[in-house]
Structures are given as structure tokens and as C-alpha cells.
Amino acid sequence: MRVLLLLFAIFPLFYFSLSQTTQNINILLINEENNALAEKSFEVAKEYVRRNPMLGLAIDPVIVVGNRTDAKAFLENVCTKYNDMLSAQKTPHVVLDFTMTGVGSETIKSFTAALALPTISGSFGQTGDLRQWRSLNVNQTKYLLQVMPPADILPESIRAVVTKQDITNAAIIFDEYFVMDHKYKSLLQNIPTRHVITPVKSFSKEDIKTQLRSLRELDVVNFFIVGSLRTIKNVLDAADENQYFGRKTAWFALTLDKGDISCGCKDATIVYMRPTPDANSRDRLGKIKTTYSMNGEPEITAAFYFDLSLRTFLAVKSLLDSGNWPNDMKYITCDDYDGKNTPNRTLDLKTAFREVKETPTYAPFYIPEDDPMNGRSFMEFSTDLSAVTVKDGASIGSRNLGSWKAGLSNPLTLTDADNMSDYSAQLVYRIVTMEQQPFIIRDDEAPKGFKGYCIDLIEEIRQIVKFDYEITLSPDGNFGTMDENGNWNGIIKELIEKRADIGLTSLSVMAERENVVDFTVPYYDLVGITIMMKLPRTPTSLFKFLTVLENDVWLSILAAYFFTSFLMWVFDKWSPYSYQNNREKYKDDEEKREFTLKECLWFCMTSLTPQGGGEAPKNLSGRLLAATWWLFGFIIIASYTANLAAFLTVSRLDTPIESLDDLSKQYKIQYAPLNGSSAMTYFERMAHIEVRFYEIWKDMSLNDSLSDVERAKLAVWDYPVSDKYSKMWQAMKEAGLPNTIEEAIERVRESKSSSEGFAWLGDATDVRYHVLTNCDLQMVGDEFSRKPYAIAVQQGSPLKDQFNNAILQLLNKRKLEKLKENWWNNNPMARSCDKQDDQSDGISIQNIGGVFIVIFLGIALACATLAAEYWWYKWRRRPTISDVTRVEPAKIMRNNANDTSTKPDGFSFRSRNLGLANFKRKF
């Protein structure tokens, strides 16, 4: 009995104590019309408090719902409700702001900040996005609080995917469940990714197909769908009909809904991201859903607003229970606010909100401990990452790729990094080019169908900037020029109209091109315009030394030689003072020479050589004739030597054109650049400028308003500006501009000589390459109008910065020099040409070799003569019997060879022996 009496005595006290700790909390709930799920979750939280009296809470809400676009009506409605609460002495402990975005939401932020009302907001926005709460002071950051909803934090996973996959372009499509206005700049900030963020236009498939086509035309290959499963299905179905699935595109679907992806796709793989409840919260989530009928979708959003409401209730109660809620809270009405009378609050709602220990329903809240928490607080849920494959409208499998934990800068957590790379779009850039050796050379055996300097360059860039490419030739075969109407053709047109991503060839950087496309840093030296002409060929001849004199001169010399030799023989034969006619007189002379006809021919021949003619005739007439022949020979040899030297020198000085000025001052050689080339543009514009200058000068000089002094200053005899390019342009048009390099080279080769024919004006690299690979062409003059070669990309393309970085790396590693070495100095197509005679070089063997032939012919003739002599003496005069038996006189002759006293006058001995030894001794 005592125990029962004690219990009965204590129970009223316990009940009274419990009733004293129950806190009545006045809530001003402000919501917008299209966020009904938040209000339902608030009602569930209120019901949860009612069913759990141990929490000691009694919630008395006043609910205001407004339109996000009608700020004025919204504010009037809120102020009316708020003023009514003050009139009823039910001042709100806290404002629960469930507005999402827009001017209505900002109006509520302004309202709460101006009246210093403690507020917990679930609005969208990161740091700085809540405009009316940007400049809060330290006290205000403790009671004006915001936690981002899951729909605001889930798109941050796109940043993680883009960073992990090195995605350079993206289209982000979202529906009405997500607010992306504030993410246009912040979502992919400081990431080199060209992206478009756009809402789904409608649920019509045709409208979505049109929208996807417009995005694809922007060269977007990575698509992110952020929305409900219904929205994801509609977009994927439209993409399938547009045939946007394959290796060149990647699809990512992000949703807050439960369930799997469904679409009518024939063959598609989609990377699917969806949140999952925290492991420690799944039981509580199931209990809340079943017990309190929290069945709103998306599940995670309903749980967020439930936890946000419940945590707010408990935070206010904690402050009230602990006595940290100020007793002198001052409130003013909307009408009393004058812009300067905002009440001063010392309430630390932030700390109380963060320290609430209630078990989360879906995932815990992340609230930073340092100030401020606005734009940095969120539900820290986990997201599954999987690859879903759909065949013929049915999902045939799902492969787990990893997960992502909600955060503002959290990376992906992958089970296998290689798996994720398999589901990203391959960067396949479209390259348009022009065949230009050695930069671009058509080669069917090459991997991409082309080879050359530029192909090696783009392959080196690929090692730094990961991508693949398709390469095609310019449709109209032009680099890109602008017509009078401002329309472009060639490679530049393809880039402007976005049919190509990269223009890769020997493309010159020009001012007008830079207005419509972007160029990377130059990858090649400055290249100018120069002249290609036919290589002058100096005619060579082994007997060129014979061409110094004309044929009739040679014949005259030969006739003089024979005539003089004949006269010398006649004079010696008939002169009484010659040796043969006066032997007694000259018997004691050491020089005894009988000038037979043979001796005369020999004498005249040797007299023309440095060796001299030998013994001269004895008779005076013969000597006079010999002296005359010597004088004749001296003059002939001196004239021949001088003319030979001059002839060989003049033949090597035939260089009529050495510069552009030389070309412009002559008329025998036609010249022109390629039609549509940068060289043509240069000459056309230079001529146009000269014409403009002439018109300006004419207008000045013929101006009637000039004074006599001013007119005198303009009175010159000659036009002060050159018309060189005007004349050249006219000559080029008359000559006809070739349409291809092959045509230009053929016209050069058909030239009669280097001083008559055709000269091509083109890029120095083109001229240099064709000179390198042809032995009949030459490059003439210095380069002019020099411009760099660079890679062209679409205007505003991120490829510019990426390629700039790559090219600079290659330049620092000297790889560009190696490419130049490979395609110029070590080019397999280079020809090894014979060296042309230079003015400073000596006489070549081709021009003087005939002299050696003369020597060889003389030696051969001498050998033949020796053979004839041997045959004559050995076989022509055969020995007789009497010659064989007459041996004794021969012995006497041999034994007394040195005894000249016994030798009779006029005796001559002639050996008849057949022995070769006697024959040799005789000779």
C-alpha cells in the first residue's frame, strides 16, 4: 500500500514536471506553390512530434504559400500573416523557408533579414547565391541559416565526372525538379570544359529531338540528363531516334527517384547515378514511411524536408530549455520597418541546429563548424554509379562502377578506373585539311589515310591532349579566302560553319582569318612568298674547247697548216741553199735536217706547241716562211686561249632573275601565284592599296579648295607612290593564275629557259619542297610577306588553350625541330642532283674532257702505228737465201763496229736476221 500511495503521490508531480518541459513553438512556414512535397514533409514532422510526447514539443504553424515570380503579392501575404501572429501575441520562434529560388525566394530572404527573424531555409544556392543574405554580419549568420536540398547538391556530381573523365564539352539537360540558374557559372568553374546548361523544352518527343540536334550542332558529345525517370526516358528515346548513341557520344543520367532506367533504345549504354539511403538510416526511413505515411517522391527530398523541419523544432527547443533563448526578443511589424530599425539579435541558432542528436532519416547533414554555413551545408548522401546497358528497349545488365558522396568538391570513388573510361565518349575531332607536301601527304597505307609533318605533329599533340580524330580534305580544295561579300570558302568556312573542329595544314595566320577562327601558337617558322623558276642548265660538251672557234676558222687554220707545210717542202726542195741541195757545205754542221714533205708537216705541227718545231730550214726563204708560221701560230693560240676562258666564264653568268624586282621589270617571263592562295591575296591587295593611294593623291592634287601654297607643295613631276604591284597584278592576270601546284610546276618546267617561260610565286615551303624533290627547279630571291603557320580551331574553342600548351611543350622538348629534320633534311623523296657549275668553281670535266679524249686518241694512234711498224719490218720484207748465207760480212761488222777507218764511204748495212734481238738493237 505504501508503494502504491507513493506512486500516486509522485505521478502528479512527474506529470506536472513533464508538462512544464513541453515547449510550444510558433512556426511561420513559407513555401512556394510548386513545392508541395516540402509542406507534406513538414506535416509529417509535426505529426511525428505529436506522436512522440517525450520530445516535449508542441508545434503551432502558420503556413504561407506564394508564387515565386510574383514577389509583391507574396510579400504582402507573408506580412499579413506575420502581423497577425504579432497581433495574436504568437510571435514566431523561427521561420521555415521552403522557397526554392527566384524573386519570391529572395523576397523572403530580404523579409527575414530586415526583421531579424530566426530562419532555417531549404532554398537552392551555394555561397553567395542568396543575394539578400550575402552581406550578413556575424550575429546574423547565427540565426539566418540555409541548408541546400538534395536537388541542389546532386548536380555537383557532374563536376566530379567531368574532372575524372577529362571531358571537354558537355550538355546538361534538367527538368522542373532541379534549379540550375545559379549553376551556369559555378558548376564547372575553372574547368576547361565547354558546356551548355538548358532545361528540357517540353515533354514532346519531337521538341526534345530538335533540342538535342541543336546541342549536337554545337559539337557536344557528352550529355548529362538531370531529372526524374520520366524525363530521362523521354530524352533517351529522342536521342535513340536521332541515332546519338555510339562511341562518339556518352550519356549520363542523374536522378533523385528510385527505380531503374527504362527507354526504347535499340542499343545504348548509360551511366546512371542515383542516391541511396545511409546504412544507419534505412530502418528509420522505413519506419517513418510506414508509420507516418511519408510516401512523397522523390524519397530523398521528402526525407530532407522532414529532417530539416524536425531538426529546426529540436534546435529551438534546445535553446528554450537551456535558457539561451533571449527573453527580450523584440519584433517589429512590416509597416514599422524603416530600413534602419532592424532588431539586434544575439541568438545562436546555428550551434543549436548543428548539435541536434536526432537520427537522420536518409543521410546526415553536413554543417561546417566555421562561419558561415550558408551555401556550404547539405545532406551528405551517397550516390551509386553504374553502367546500364539497354538492348531493344529492355535493360540487359547493370555494371557497378563506383560511388559518389555528396559534396561540393568530392571526387568519384571508382571500383576500377579503367571501367569508367570505357563509358566515356571518345573525343573524336573532325580535322579538315589540304594536301600540301611535306605537311600533308595522301597515303592510303597510313592509319588515317595521310602522312606528313602535320600528321606527326597532331600525333604528338594527341599524346598530351587525349583525343582521336577523323581527317578529310577541304571540299572545295581551298585554304580559305574571303570574297567581296564577306563569305569564306575552304578550311575556314568548314570551321565557321562548325563542320570541322580543327584546320590542320600549312595554314598561314592572317588578320581576316583571326576575325572568324582562332589560331594556336605557331608550330612552324615564319614563311613568306618566294619565286620558283626553271633551273638554268649550262650546256656541256666534251669538245666544248672546239666550239670556241667557228667551224670555218678551224677549216682555215687546217688549210693554212697544210699550205704552209707544202710551201716549206717546195722551198727546201728548190732552194740551192737548202740542206739537201748543198750537203757539202753543211757536212760539218751538227744539225742536219732534210725537209721532206713529212718533215714539213711535223715541223708546222710541233711549232704550235710549247715544245717548238725543232731545227729550222737552212735556206733563207724557208726560214722566213717558218717565222711567218710561228707568228701565225702565236696569234692563233693566244686568241684561242683568251676566247676559251671568256667563253667558259660567260656561260656560267646566265642568271637573269634574282629578286621580285627583277621579275617585275622584265616581260619575257610570265609569273603568277596559285588561284585562291594567300600569295594571290597578297598581290591583289597590294595592287588595290596602290590604286587607293593613287585615288587619294589625285583627290588631293585636284582639290579646288587648296591654296596656291598648298597646291605648290603637291606639284611634283612624278607620282610619289610606286605602281609596282599594280603592274605585277595586271601581268599575273594576263598570264593566267594556275589552279593547282601541279599545274604551276608543269608550266615552270615547260619554260624554254630560265630567261623565258613561266615563274611561280608561292609559299616558300612549297617551293623549297618541290626544289628538294626535283632537279630541274630552283628557288629564286628572298622571302617576303612572311607569316607563321598555325593550327586553326573554331572561335572560342577550348582546343586553342589545350593545343597551345601541347605545342609549347613540344617546342621546349625540341620535338618540332626533330619533325623538321625528318621531313626536310632526311626526307626520303629528296633528290640527289648534280651540282651546277658555279661562277667561283673551275672548269668542269664535262667541258674540258675532250682534251683527255684527244690524249687517249693520240696514244691509241701511236700504239696502232707501233703495231704497223712492227708488222712492216717483220712480215712485209721477208729474208731471202742470199741474205741468210751472207753471214761473214755481218760478223766483220759486229766485230769492228767501233772501227770506222775500215768502213767504205757510202756503205750501209741492213740486217736481215729474223731474230727479235737484232731488230730491237737496230731501233
- CA–CA gap between residue 687 and residue 693 (Å, rounded): 10
φ/ψ region of 339 (left if φ > 0, alpha if ψ in -120 to 50, else beta) reads left
Question: CA of 66: how far to CAs of 36, 39, 820, in Å?
Answer: 11, 13, 70
Which position has the grid cell 674532257?
849
Pairing of strands 250-254, 144-146: unpaired
Is residue 430 packed enough to be buried (19+ CB in 10 Å), middle (13-18) or exposed (0-12)? middle
Count other Cβ atoms within 10 Å, centred on residue 804.
16
What single-letter amino acid sits at 443? D
- CA–CA gap between residue 423 and residue 222 (Å, rounded): 11
User: What is the CA angle 136-140-146, rounded to 5?
Assistant: 85
Sign of CA dihedral 278, 279, 281, 284: positive
- Pick the closest to residue 480 from 729, 630, 676, 672 (CA basis): 676
Residue 452 grid cell: 606528313
* CA 652 from centroid of its chain's CA atoms: 45
Give the burial string for 488-512 (b: 16+ CB within 10 Å, else e).
bbbbbbbbbeeebbbbbbbbbbbee
- CA–CA gap between residue 222 and residue 218 (Å, rounded): 11
| Number of helices (H), then strands (E), in the chain | 31, 26
The answer to whether 617 and 572 are in contact (CB under 8 A) is yes
DSSP 440: B
The answer to whether 252 and 223 are in contact (CB under 8 A) is yes
Strand ranges, E, within 641-776: 669-673, 757-763
Radius of gyration, alpha carbons of the chain: 54
The answer to whether 275 and 256 are in contact (CB under 8 A) is yes
> Has 228 been labeled as part of a binding site?
no
- CA–CA gap between residue 232 and residue 260 (Å, rounded): 11
> Has 392 been labeled as part of a binding site?
no
> Has 678 been labeled as part of a binding site?
yes
- CA–CA gap between residue 426 and residue 221 (Å, rounded): 9
Give the H/E segment covering residue 854: helix 845-871
Count other Cβ atoms within 10 Å, centred on residue 453.
27
User: What is the CA angle 446-452-454, rounded to 5?
Assistant: 115
Cis peptide leading into 438, omega within 30 of 0? Answer: yes
Query: DSSP H helical segments within 116-242, as ranges?
Result: 150-153, 156-165, 183-186, 205-216, 229-241
The answer to whether 120 and 370 are in contact (CB under 8 A) is no
HSE at residue 769, side-chain half, CA atoms within 13 A, is: 24
- CA–CA gap between residue 316 and residue 25 (Å, rounded): 8
> Has 508 been labeled as part of a binding site?
yes
- Pick the closest to residue 91 from 109, 111, 117 (CA basis): 117
Give the dihedral of Cα atoms 346, 350, 353, 354; nearest 10 deg: -140
- Pick the closest to residue 209 from 243, 250, 245, 174 (CA basis): 243
- CA–CA gap between residue 767 and residue 788 (Å, rounded): 16
Give the dihedral of Cα atoms 646, 651, 653, 657; nearest 10 deg: 150
Residue 184 grid cell: 551556369
- CA–CA gap between residue 25 and residue 58 (Å, rounded): 6
Residues in binding site for L-glutamate: 508, 513, 678, 763
Binding site listing: 508, 513, 678, 763
